[in-house]
């Protein structure tokens, strides 16, 4: 089961997860006019190294992720796959918006 990036990444895009991904399956782009990252479900090997790297806890195991975000990651993957990488934001940089726990 692949991992999924959810709503807490919307507008944040720390991209610290990208640095640890061994298969480069995490891609940046714009969603709803905001910075966002997705995990390509066709490329993810379910290694879980990305999850602890996310400072806003936006990464879910597939079975724990809201259905909406599973669908969004899969739909955006073909478009985001070819986007150039982004410079990671420091994990200790405060979130740009408040996130519900």
Domain housing 28 = 3-80
**CATH number of the domain to which 39 belongs:** 3.30.70.20
pLDDT digits over 46-80, tens only? 999 999 999 999 999 988 999 999 999 999 999 99
What is the rounded distance in angstroms from the CA atom of residue 20 to the CA atom of residue 45? Answer: 13
Residue 88 within any structural domain of the chain = no
CA atoms within 13 A on the CB side of 95: 13
Question: Is this prediction's pTM over 0.85?
Answer: yes
How many folded domains does the chain comprise? 1
**Residue 34 DSSP class:** E
Start-end of H helices in 1-101: 16-20, 67-80
């Amino acid at each position: 089961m692949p991992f999924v990036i959810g709503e807490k990444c919307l507008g944040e895009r720390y991209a610290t997860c990208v640095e640890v991904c061994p298969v480069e399956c995490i891609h940046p782009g714009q969603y709803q006019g905001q910075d966002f990252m997705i995990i390509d479900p066709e490329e993810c090997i379910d290694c879980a190294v990305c999850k602890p790297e996310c400072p806003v806890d936006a990464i879910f195991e597939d079975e724990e992720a809201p259905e909406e975000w599973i669908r969004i990651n899969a739909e955006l993957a073909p478009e985001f796959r070819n986007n150039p990488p982004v410079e990671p934001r420091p994990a200790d940089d405060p979130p740009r918006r408040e996130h519900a726990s």
